[in-house]
């Protein structure tokens, strides 16, 4: 042992402090990781030492390493040790480390409850402060529940420094333990009028945060806040209040009118931009002011101006639209954040009238944009803008299709699939546009090499997927299907991604069917035979494809075509039958349709259909599954014969496949008129391949021309309308005609160029109407939606710390009752209160949680409805003969309590410390008065000579109850019960030191047995730790050693063993009487459960 101490000292000679560590890391830039791992080893050694200064230093270094990204969770217990140091210097470091390293799943947090409670009630305000700060970072639901009442008490602390912190941390407590909101709310409200501005602003902060989430519960506070708003000059507070009103006004329209005046005053008078911004945000009337912000050269203000504008847009779109010029200007800004904001705004600003113009502008930006991310963003925005609310603003779909085609020229975009799905969606749902779309897509297919030439531009070739599908599905609209078919069968196609090839192959078959159909009427069958030959020549390329999907479809279709060729040679008419392959209507399905299908009665989706597989089986199932999956594809027989049955089967399979294809979920073909002749499409352009300009898809009509066309069309319409109106007017002979003449056309006047029939998506029958699936069930604020105006029920009171002794030992409450000759009523009340507490406790134990509210060492007393008082007895570690009793007085009546005097009858052993010069029987004046409903805490110091025996002290509290007209003198007798446990202080101890202590032979031993203890061992240990201030030294299975120390330095060692329901405790202590009493108290604790 001696050697160890010496060794420890030598180590400490080389101890690094934080500065050395930081310097070391900076000097080891090359091998930082190695250096730090040696440092961590050193720290581990340091943490093994008993010296708290060394430990604190080590923990401080660990906190730094944690920031650098090293895992320090292994040191959590050491952090707790440093936290529980009595020296502020170390405590501060401990709490800092805890707040940085602890999170909800850190298990040692539950050990800290008692320590934090002790620090919260420390006489030193900085101890309390540091504990509150730490707690704000790592508060868990358990901590919140156990400490809510302590923190609530601190809200009325005498020092504003503590009040302020306590008020703020209450918000975190509410989030973790929503039940505390109602009991704590009256006091929180009270703090809105605290004399200290810091506390006031903290209370405003907390209520504002609460109200923002659930405004309706806070409407009743509006008058109070209104007063604060007009009187406060603190910008920080004003901002919060205005934010709060912003949340309240939608619920109470009258509020809006009242607010206008003070808000306009603020807007005109304030010099703080942040406040101005908040006001503007709330009022949403001052678009002009916003223009000033946006035009400002300061980028920050510009950004915020745009942001506020987008909020106004939601409610007053008209007022924002007049600033379109400004917003379009912002698109040219060099800052991406600002451009993105402006884009967002544009999204909301479009109308039927200006859509084309805005998109044209955006297309220009697409060309100019450097950097693919911004360009991609632009692309998605264009598509979003156009497709919003079911293509509401698009009047000319030909224009839209050409925009989409233009977008395919973008180099290296990731959003090929987005364009593709838009193309599909539009072509499927807008029947009138199909002819045009098919023509465009055919051109695209013909020029496919331009899109695929570069492997980097892979994203865009997704478009071909859509093009191929549209051309195939609506092939009746094609002018020259043979040419398209040829384009789709080019060898180059084989370089495309597999899923696109698959679509190609499938759709050649559809095209083939159309061609047969159109040519069979003709006299000579040569052209159709040529087409068949083309198919037979080209398809083998796809049969060899490495992609299974392509291979499968190609081989299937190849066989089909071969069969058709045979029939053609026999001059059999096949076209009708082939077309029948692709007949049938597939309707679009709404995205949420699957979710809305009601579950049929009696269907349990969670039930196993077969016996659940056993553990061992599932393990070797894995490889088997892979094997079986592959097998059918490899062994699939090549089709040699095709009969009707087979075809039907395939059709079924095809439908199945399409159903599984993600593109079909959103959009599937609505109808297909198979026996229709392909109508002539007028302006299919003549294709020319101009390889020198590879980025342009040549021959396509540019979207710009539509803008012009559209303009002309509208003008014409307007002119016609005017004519009609004039006629009408003439008939009516109205004189005041000029008013109607010009002026901008309104939204409704614009008629779409095409009679657009947008097919709506299908929903399943008897779909559930609910649309609540957007709400996040995990939102922590949801739990705080609590009605605050309801009166508080007894059951809602916060768990007040009450001592186990209050029930089992001769309870001080009972003492107080017995001695208090008060009216009958009070007795009833107090016993009821007690019962409730007991119930509360039972509930908590049931929940399997042991560290609960019932911790405090001592008495709970209640007088004749005037005063409620709780007190806590703690030994003072610094002075072995001192015990501090903290008493919380709470005024329960509606009168004012004053001149409280606390007096205790001294015994030989224990004496109340009185100020110098006062006699041995004088009482101590409680240094405050209590208005109704208020509580406050006072501390009294007792000098104790011997701590080996429990003590009972009799005392009285006298006070004056002051009403408006009278005042009466009241007296309350009570008993203070100093148990031996209250002299013990939780002290951590290491196993080697513990072993040494036991070996020393100075200790007397004693033991007890507890029968019928029915709880898990770790609960049992936690209970002893918690109620009797022990710490666990070592635990091996069902055996543990524990340690604690008295304020006078007695060591108390326990060895706890459990078997079945019997617990045996062997204890050693250098003071046998103390040991006996502590063991008795432990026995009492367990006899209660």
> Of 299 and 760, which CB lies nearer to other proteins in the complex structure?
299
Residue indicated by tokens 């789709």: 488
Strands 951-962 and 1031-1036, by their bridges, are unpaired
Closest approach, Cβ 138 to other proteins, in A, equals 7
The DSSP bridge partners found for residue 1072 are: none
> Of 204 and 407, which CB lies nearer to other proteins in the complex structure?
204
Closest approach, Cβ 182 to other proteins, in A, equals 20
Q: Note whether 304 binds other proteins by CB under 8 A.
A: yes
Residues numbered 394 to 423 that lie near other proteins (CB under 8 A) are: none
Alpha helices in 331-394, H assignment, sequence order: 336-349, 355-368, 372-391
Q: Note whether 60 binds other proteins by CB under 8 A.
A: yes
Nearest to 44 by CA among 72, 70, 20: 72
Sign of dihedral through CA atoms 906, 909, 911, 917? positive
Q: Note whether 67 binds other proteins by CB under 8 A.
A: yes
From candidates 31, 34, 38, 88, binder to other proteins by CB under 8 A: 88
Closest approach, Cβ 81 to other proteins, in A, equals 17
Angle at CA 923, nearest 5°, toward 922 and 924?
A: 125
From candidates 194, 209, 815, 864, binder to other proteins by CB under 8 A: 209
Q: Note whether 273 binds other proteins by CB under 8 A.
A: yes
Closest approach, Cβ 57 to other proteins, in A, equals 9
Residue 212: CB atoms within 10 A of its CB come to 16
Closest approach, Cβ 29 to other proteins, in A, equals 11
From candidates 27, 37, 89, 907, binder to other proteins by CB under 8 A: 89
SS3 766: coil
SS3 32: helix
Q: Which run of H or E residues covers position 476?
A: none
Q: Note whether 151 binds other proteins by CB under 8 A.
A: no
Which are the contacts of 139, defined by CB distance < 8 A and separation ≥ 6? 147, 169, 172, 173, 176
Residues numbered 241 to 270 that lie near other proteins (CB under 8 A) are: 243
Closest approach, Cβ 78 to other proteins, in A, equals 16
Residues numbered 813 to 832 that lie near other proteins (CB under 8 A) are: none
Strands 1031-1036 and 1039-1046, by their bridges, are antiparallel
Q: Note whether 274 binds other proteins by CB under 8 A.
A: yes
Q: Note whether 876 binds other proteins by CB under 8 A.
A: no
Q: Note whether 92 binds other proteins by CB under 8 A.
A: yes
Q: Note whether 161 binds other proteins by CB under 8 A.
A: yes
Q: What is the 3-state secondary structure (H, E, C) of 158-202?
A: CCHHHHHHHHHHHHHHHHHCHHHHHHHHHHHHHHHHCCCHHHHHH
What is d(CA 1079, CA 1076) in angstroms, rounded to the nearest whole number? 5
Q: Note whether 174 binds other proteins by CB under 8 A.
A: no
Q: Note whether 609 binds other proteins by CB under 8 A.
A: no
Nearest to 674 by CA among 442, 859, 551, 514: 514
Q: Note whether 138 binds other proteins by CB under 8 A.
A: yes
First to last CA, the chain: 42
> Of 7 and 649, which CB lies nearer to other proteins in the complex structure?
7
How would you list the strands of the sheet with 935-944, edge to edge? 860-862, 867-875, 882-891, 935-944, 910-912
> Of 32 and 1070, which CB lies nearer to other proteins in the complex structure?
32
State the helix-helix crossing angle for 76-83 and 88-101, rounded to 10 degrees.
Answer: 150
Q: Which run of H or E residues covers position 873?
A: strand 867-875
Sign of dihedral through CA atoms 1068, 1071, 1074, 1077? positive
**Interface segment toward other proteins; rule CB under 8 A; list 126-134, 250-258, 537-545, 870-878:** 126-134
> Of 378 and 984, which CB lies nearer to other proteins in the complex structure?
378
What is d(CA 562, CA 540) in angstroms, rounded to the nearest whole number? 12
Residues numbered 4 to 23 that lie near other proteins (CB under 8 A) are: 5-6, 8-10, 12-13, 15, 17-19, 22
The contact mask relative to other proteins for 703-732 (x = CB under 8 A, - = no) is ------------------------------
> Of 19 and 610, which CB lies nearer to other proteins in the complex structure?
19
From candidates 36, 39, 49, 63, binder to other proteins by CB under 8 A: 63
Which are the contacts of 881, defined by CB distance < 8 A and separation ≥ 6? 943, 944, 945, 1047, 1048
Q: Note whether 582 binds other proteins by CB under 8 A.
A: no
Closest approach, Cβ 776 to other proteins, in A, equals 10
Closest approach, Cβ 714 to other proteins, in A, equals 38
SS3 1064: strand
For 700-765, give the DSSP string.
PPPHHHHHHHHHHHHHHHHHHHHHHHHHHHHHHT-S--GGGSSSPPPGGGPPPSS---BPPPB--T
What is d(CA 96, CA 90) in angstroms, rounded to the nearest whole number? 10
Residues numbered 936 to 965 that lie near other proteins (CB under 8 A) are: none
Closest approach, Cβ 130 to other proteins, in A, equals 8
Residue indicated by tokens 């934090």: 116
Closest approach, Cβ 22 to other proteins, in A, equals 6
Residue 635: CB atoms within 10 A of its CB come to 7
> Of 315 and 688, which CB lies nearer to other proteins in the complex structure?
315
Residues numbered 648 to 707 that lie near other proteins (CB under 8 A) are: none
Residues numbered 97 to 116 that lie near other proteins (CB under 8 A) are: 99-100, 103-105
Q: Note whether 1062 binds other proteins by CB under 8 A.
A: no
Q: Note whether 292 binds other proteins by CB under 8 A.
A: no
> Of 79 and 984, which CB lies nearer to other proteins in the complex structure?
79
Q: Note whether 93 binds other proteins by CB under 8 A.
A: yes
Closest approach, Cβ 226 to other proteins, in A, equals 20
Q: Note whether 211 binds other proteins by CB under 8 A.
A: no
> Of 110 and 464, which CB lies nearer to other proteins in the complex structure?
110
> Of 32 and 840, which CB lies nearer to other proteins in the complex structure?
32
From candidates 35, 64, 226, 374, binder to other proteins by CB under 8 A: 64
From candidates 24, 45, 48, 137, binder to other proteins by CB under 8 A: 137
Closest approach, Cβ 459 to other proteins, in A, equals 23
CA distances from 573 to 328, 529, 580, 854, 944 (A): 61, 12, 13, 93, 116
Tell the burial category of 304 from Cβ atoms under 10 Å away from its Cβ (0-12, 13-18, 19+): buried
**Interface segment toward other proteins; rule CB under 8 A; list 95-103, 468-476, 643-651, 884-892:** 95-103
> Of 371 and 735, which CB lies nearer to other proteins in the complex structure?
371
**Interface segment toward other proteins; rule CB under 8 A; list 231-239, 284-292, 947-955, 961-969:** 231-239
Q: Note whether 169 binds other proteins by CB under 8 A.
A: yes
Q: What are phi and psi of 724, to 5 degrees?
A: -60, -45
Residues numbered 36 to 55 that lie near other proteins (CB under 8 A) are: 53
Contact 287, 312 (CB under 8 A): yes
From candidates 35, 42, 73, 831, binder to other proteins by CB under 8 A: 73
Q: Note whether 205 binds other proteins by CB under 8 A.
A: yes
Q: Give how many residues touch other proteins by CB under 8 A.
A: 76
From candidates 113, 201, 249, 1044, binder to other proteins by CB under 8 A: 201
CA distances from 619 to 294, 612, 716 (A): 63, 13, 74
Residues numbered 327 to 386 that lie near other proteins (CB under 8 A) are: 334-338, 340
> Of 69 and 491, which CB lies nearer to other proteins in the complex structure?
69
């Amino acid at each position: 042992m001696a050697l160890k101490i010496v060794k420890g000292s030598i180590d400490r000679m080389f101890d690094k402090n934080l500065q050395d560590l930081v310097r070391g890391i900076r000097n080891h830039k090359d091998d930082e990781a190695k250096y730090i791992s040696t440092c961590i080893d050193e720290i581990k050694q340091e943490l093994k030492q008993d010296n708290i200064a060394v430990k604190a230093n080590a923990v401080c270094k660990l906190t730094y390493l944690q920031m650098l990204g090293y895992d320090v969770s292994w040191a959590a217990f050491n952090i707790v040790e440093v936290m529980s140091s009595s020296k502020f210097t170390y405590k501060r470091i401990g709490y800092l480390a805890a707040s940085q390293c602890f999170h909800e799943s850190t298990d040692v947090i539950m050990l800290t409850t008692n320590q934090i409670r002790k620090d919260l009630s420390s006489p030193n305000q900085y101890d309390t402060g540091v504990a509150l700060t730490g707690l704000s970072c790592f508060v868990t639901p358990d901590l919140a529940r156990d400490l809510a009442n302590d923190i609530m008490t601190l809200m009325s602390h005498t020092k504003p420094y503590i009040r302020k912190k306590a008020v703020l941390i209450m918000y975190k407590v509410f989030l973790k333990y929503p039940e505390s909101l109602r009991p704590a709310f009256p006091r929180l409200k009270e703090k809105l009028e605290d004399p200290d501005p810091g506390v006031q602003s903290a209370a405003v902060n907390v209520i504002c945060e609460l109200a923002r989430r659930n405004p309706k519960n806070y409407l009743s506070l509006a008058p109070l806040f209104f007063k604060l708003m007009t009187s406060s000059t603190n910008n920080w507070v004003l901002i919060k209040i205005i934010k709060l009103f912003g949340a309240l006004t939608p619920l109470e329209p009258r509020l809006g009118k009242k607010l206008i005046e003070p808000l306009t005053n603020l807007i005109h008078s304030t010099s703080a931009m942040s406040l101005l911004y908040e006001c503007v945000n709330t009022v949403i009337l001052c678009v002009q002011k916003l223009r000033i912000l946006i035009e400002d050269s300061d980028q920050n203000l510009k950004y915020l101006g745009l942001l506020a504008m987008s909020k106004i847009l939601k409610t007053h779109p008209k007022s924002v639209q007049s600033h379109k010029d400004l917003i379009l200007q912002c698109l040219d800004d060099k800052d991406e954040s600002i451009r993105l904001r402006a884009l967002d705004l544009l999204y909301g600003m479009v109308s039927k009238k200006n859509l084309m113009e805005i998109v044209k502008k955006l297309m220009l930006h697409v060309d100019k944009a450097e950097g693919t991310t911004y360009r991609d963003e632009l692309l998605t925005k264009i598509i979003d803008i156009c497709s919003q609310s079911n293509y509401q603003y698009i009047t000319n779909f030909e224009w839209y299709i050409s925009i989409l085609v233009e977008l395919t020229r973008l180099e290296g975009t990731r959003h090929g699939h987005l364009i593709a799905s838009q193309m599909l969606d539009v072509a499927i749902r807008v029947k009138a546009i199909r002819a045009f779309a098919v023509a465009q897509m055919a051109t695209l297919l013909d020029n496919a090499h331009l899109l695929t030439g570069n492997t980097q531009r892979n994203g865009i070739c997704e478009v071909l997927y859509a093009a191929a599908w549209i051309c195939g599905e609506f092939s009746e609209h094609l002018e020259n299907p043979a040419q398209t078919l040829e384009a789709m069968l080019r060898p180059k196609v084989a370089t495309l991604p597999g899923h696109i090839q698959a679509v190609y192959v499938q759709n050649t078959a559809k095209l083939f069917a159309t061609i047969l159909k159109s040519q069979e009427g003709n006299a000579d069958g040569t052209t159709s035979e040529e087409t068949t030959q083309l198919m037979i020549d080209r398809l083998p390329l796809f049969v060899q494809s490495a992609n299974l999907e392509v291979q499968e479809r190609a081989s299937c279709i190849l066989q089909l075509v071969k069969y058709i060729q045979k029939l053609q040679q026999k001059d059999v008419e096949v076209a009708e039958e082939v077309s029948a392959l692709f007949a049938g209507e597939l309707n679009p399905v709404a995205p949420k349709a699957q979710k809305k299908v009601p579950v049929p009665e009696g269907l349990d989706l969670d039930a196993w259909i077969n016996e659940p597989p056993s553990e061992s089986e599932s393990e070797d199932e894995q490889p088997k599954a892979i094997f079986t999956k592959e097998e059918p594809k490899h062994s699939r027989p090549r089709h040699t014969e095709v009969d009707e049955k087979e075809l039907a089967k395939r059709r079924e399979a095809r439908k199945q496949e399409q159903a599984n294809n993600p593109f079909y979920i959103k959009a599937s073909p609505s109808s297909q008129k198979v026996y229709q002749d392909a109508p002539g499409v007028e302006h299919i352009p003549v294709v020319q391949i101009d390889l020198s300009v590879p980025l342009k898809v040549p021959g396509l009509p540019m979207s710009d021309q539509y803008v012009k066309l559209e303009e002309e069309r509208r003008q014409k319409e307007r002119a016609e309308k005017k004519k009609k109106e004039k006629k009408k007017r003439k008939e009516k002979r109205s004189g005041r005609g000029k008013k109607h003449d010009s002026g901008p056309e309104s939204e409704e006047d614009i008629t779409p160029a095409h009679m657009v029939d947008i097919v709506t998506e299908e929903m399943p029958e008897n779909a559930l109407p609910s649309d609540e699936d957007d709400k996040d069930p995990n939102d922590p604020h949801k739990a705080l939606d609590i009605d605050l105006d309801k009166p508080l029920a007894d059951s809602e009171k916060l768990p007040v710390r009450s001592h186990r002794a209050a029930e089992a030992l001769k309870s001080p409450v009972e003492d107080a009752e017995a001695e208090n000759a008060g009216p009958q009523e009070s007795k009833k009340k107090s016993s009821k209160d007690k019962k409730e507490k007991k119930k509360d406790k039972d509930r908590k134990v049931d929940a399997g949680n042991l560290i609960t509210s019932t911790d405090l060492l001592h008495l709970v007393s209640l007088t004749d409805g005037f005063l409620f008082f709780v007190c806590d007895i703690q030994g003072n570690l610094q002075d072995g003969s001192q015990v501090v009793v903290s008493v919380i007085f709470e005024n329960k009546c509606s009168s004012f309590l004053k001149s409280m005097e606390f007096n205790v009858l001294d015994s030989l052993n224990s004496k109340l410390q009185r100020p110098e010069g006062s006699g041995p029987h004088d009482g101590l004046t409680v240094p405050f008065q209590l208005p109704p409903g208020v509580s406050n805490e006072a501390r009294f110091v007792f000098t104790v000579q011997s701590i080996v025996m429990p003590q009972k002290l009799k005392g009285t509290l006298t006070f004056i109850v002051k009403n408006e007209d009278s005042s009466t003198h009241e007296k309350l007798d009570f008993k203070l019960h100093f148990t031996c446990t209250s002299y013990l202080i939780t002290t951590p101890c290491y196993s080697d030191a513990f072993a040494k202590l036991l070996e020393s032979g100075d200790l007397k031993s004693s033991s007890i047995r507890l029968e019928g203890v029915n709880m898990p061992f770790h609960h049992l240990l936690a209970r002893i730790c918690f109620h009797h201030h022990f710490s666990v030294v070592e635990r091996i299975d069902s055996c543990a050693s524990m340690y604690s120390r008295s304020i006078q330095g007695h060591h108390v060692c326990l060895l706890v063993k459990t078997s079945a329901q019997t617990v045996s405790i062997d204890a050693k202590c250098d003071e046998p009487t103390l040991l006996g009493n502590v063991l008795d108290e432990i026995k009492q604790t367990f006899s209660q459960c």
